[in-house]
Amino acid sequence: MTPIDIAIMAAGKGTRMKSRIPKVLQKLAGRPLLGHVLDTAGQLRARSVVVITGHGAIEVEAFGSSLASAGAGFDLQFARQEPQLGTGHAMQQAMPRLADDGLVVVLSGDVPLTEAATLRALIDAAGGERLALLTVTLPDPTGYGRIVRGAGGTVQRIVEHKDASEAERAITEIYSGIMAVPARLLRGWLGRLSNDNAQGEYYLTDVVAMAVAGGVPVVAHRIEDALQVAGVNSPLQLAELERAHQARQARALMEAGVRLMDPARFDLRDDARRGVRGELLCGPDVEIDVGCIFTGRVEIGEGARIGAHCCIADARIAAGAVIHPYTHIDGESAGVRVGAGALVGPFARLRPGAELGPEVHIGNFVEVKNSSLAAGAKANHLAYLGDATVGERVNYGAGSITANYDGAHKHRTVIEADAHIGSNCVLVAPVTIGAGGTVGGGSTITQDTPPGALSVARGRQVNLSGWQRPTKKPAGDGG
Ligand code: UD1
Ligand code: CA
């Protein structure tokens, strides 16, 4: 087997993105475009990968290095191309890093959806001694290099759109920008490129005519699926590829049995903050309503239901749980756990370290952070639980909060089993509410309460009889 070395062109500017971010770092499903291409390289078990950088080289190289240090499985190098004098010139910069015994696969950093199986077929077509081009037929081939075939249909050369005659422009089979070619052959051809063409660029595509002249067979591996070779040049194209990618993910989930109410309104993204791959693992009979966004690694147990328009990141949701619409769950690094049969939302917010036991209820406008709630505990309305340990069957009243932060440090609140916290209470941490105790509505609790007691900490009610409400002076008396 010939070792596979991959060259990824990523020096271009991407002017039409109108962005300060280098084009290959624009995100598709939360992952930079170059990250998608490097993933594909990983799937091909490449020996080495050379990324050709230019515009935004420092950022692009930093991103590539971060992936490589996370264990990409291949040797990653960079080659700077400054200035950018064309795709052939780009490959000339990469050649010193590519060994003669390898098969070079040329990819673009802005073409994210190429499937590894397609590239394997291209590699097989090259077979260690041929030049293999990945081609596709487009209804509108404007702008692309055309595949010029001779007698018997053999590939003769590629002509760039700007250099093409009227007759050549009528050809609809185009070069995708992806080829596989033995390194030793490529090296010789690249040394002979000229920039005598309409754009004054060194065209990589000129190697095709050189191969033909030198008696090296050229094969075109033509595919049907244009999405696999579609590049990103504008925000619109990026959005189109995003939808195509999401549709693929949605299809795979549905094939695994997940019920998506509408696969066109489904999103699964990487958690770019932590570099965690978007991954949705569902048990049987999971239902997901429209407009949900899943980020990072999310697990959903058997029969759980996710309502419309929920954002769920880095969380584990156990069997039978119901997440009502418009709920925001963000586990980030600490994760969020939702127990079996729990009910959450609508409009609930679960933040890092929220751990809900079985059958817990978290209702509308309730925020939970770094807190555990044991089985059957309920906080149904307008409440905050931060740094709290909440026992079984606790009922936490509407409008109540844990005052967990003293301006410098965070402190814990412990609410023991079966306690009942009335409405609008402030539990000033550190504090413990004893098991089975009741806290009267409106209390500000600053000291531990004994088990089983009624604790009330608020101003006593005063009633003044015969109180006269102020009245307005008659208008127009000048004052
Ligand atoms: C190239 C092909 C064309 C093909 C098309 C597919 C050539 C001469 N033409 O067109 O036949 O149909 O791709 O999309 O190869 N890049 C560099 N350095 C450079 C120039 C480009 O790194 O000096 C990178 C770009 O960032 C991009 C890729 O190479 O990732 C392709 O460049 P682009 O300008 O998009 O393609 P064309 O040259 O127009
Ligand atoms: Ca160009």
Ligand 1, atom nearest to 204 Cα = 15
Average pLDDT over every residue of 49-76? 91
The yes-or-no verdict on residue 416 having pLDDT over 60 is yes
Q: Is the CB of 87 under 6 A from ligand 1?
A: yes
Q: Is the CB of 193 under 6 A from ligand 1?
A: no
Which pLDDT belongs to residue 153?
94
Instruction: Give me Rg for the CA atoms of the chain.
Output: 31
Ligand nearest to the CA of 233: 1
Return the closest-CA partner of residue 64 out of 8, 18, 116, 17.
Answer: 8
pLDDT tens digit sequence for 158-191: 999 999 999 999 999 999 999 999 999 999 999 9
pLDDT confidence of 278, banded at 50, 70, 90?
very high
Average pLDDT over every residue of 134-147? 97
Alpha-carbon separation of residue 270 from 229, 295, 356 (angstroms): 22, 6, 24
Q: Catalytic: which of 161, 381, 411, 420?
A: 381
Q: Is the CB of 438 under 6 A from ligand 1?
A: no
Omega into 139 within 30° of 0, i.e. cis? Answer: no
CA of 86 to the centre of ligand 1 (A): 7
The yes-or-no verdict on residue 479 having pLDDT over 80 is no
The yes-or-no verdict on residue 477 having pLDDT over 70 is no
Could you give the angle at the alpha carbon of 141 between the alpha carbons of 130 and 106, nearest 5°? 35
> Read out DSSP for 304-364?
-EE-TT-EEEEEEE-TT-EE-TT-EEE-TTT-EEE-TT-EE-SS-EE-TT-EE-TT-EEEE
Signed CA dihedral, 34, 64, 179, 248: sign only? negative
Omega into 430 within 30° of 0, i.e. cis? Answer: yes
CA of 90 to the centre of ligand 1 (A): 9
Which pLDDT belongs to residue 247?
98
pLDDT tens digit sequence for 117-138: 999 999 999 999 999 999 999 9
Which pLDDT belongs to residue 475?
81
Average pLDDT over every residue of 240-267? 98
- Percent of the chain at pLDDT > 90 equals 95
Q: Estimate the crossing angle of helix 33-43 against helix 116-126, to 10 degrees.
A: 60
Q: Is the CB of 12 under 6 A from ligand 1?
A: yes
Kindly report which listed range (64-73, 91-100, 259-268) carries the lowest average pLDDT score. 64-73
Domains delineated in the chain:
4-229 (3.90.550.10), 235-455 (2.160.10.10)
Average pLDDT over every residue of 362-389? 98
CA of 478 to the centre of ligand 1 (A): 82
> Is 381 a residue of the active site?
yes
CA of 68 to the centre of ligand 1 (A): 25
Mean pLDDT of the chain: 96
Which pLDDT belongs to residue 140?
96
Sort strands 103-108 and 173-182 into parallel, antiparallel or unpaired.
antiparallel
DSSP H or E segment with residue 75: strand 75-80
Which pLDDT belongs to residue 72?
72
Ligand 1 site-directed mutation target among 80, 82, 87, 161, most atoms within 8 Å of CB: 87
Q: Is the CB of 123 under 6 A from ligand 1?
A: no
Sort strands 388-390 and 328-330 into parallel, antiparallel or unpaired.
unpaired
pLDDT confidence of 478, banded at 50, 70, 90?
low
CA of 143 to the centre of ligand 2 (A): 9
Omega into 346 within 30° of 0, i.e. cis? Answer: yes
Determine the Cα–Cα distance for residues 385 and 410; give it in Å rounded to an integer. Answer: 12
Which residue, judged by its Cα, is nearest atom 32 of ligand 1? Answer: 87
Average pLDDT over every residue of 217-226? 98
Which pLDDT belongs to residue 1?
83
Ligand 1, atom nearest to 206 Cα = 8
Q: Is the CB of 90 under 6 A from ligand 1?
A: yes
Return the closest-CA partner of residue 270 out of 63, 74, 9.
Answer: 63
Which residue, judged by its Cα, is nearest atom 3 of ligand 1? Answer: 145
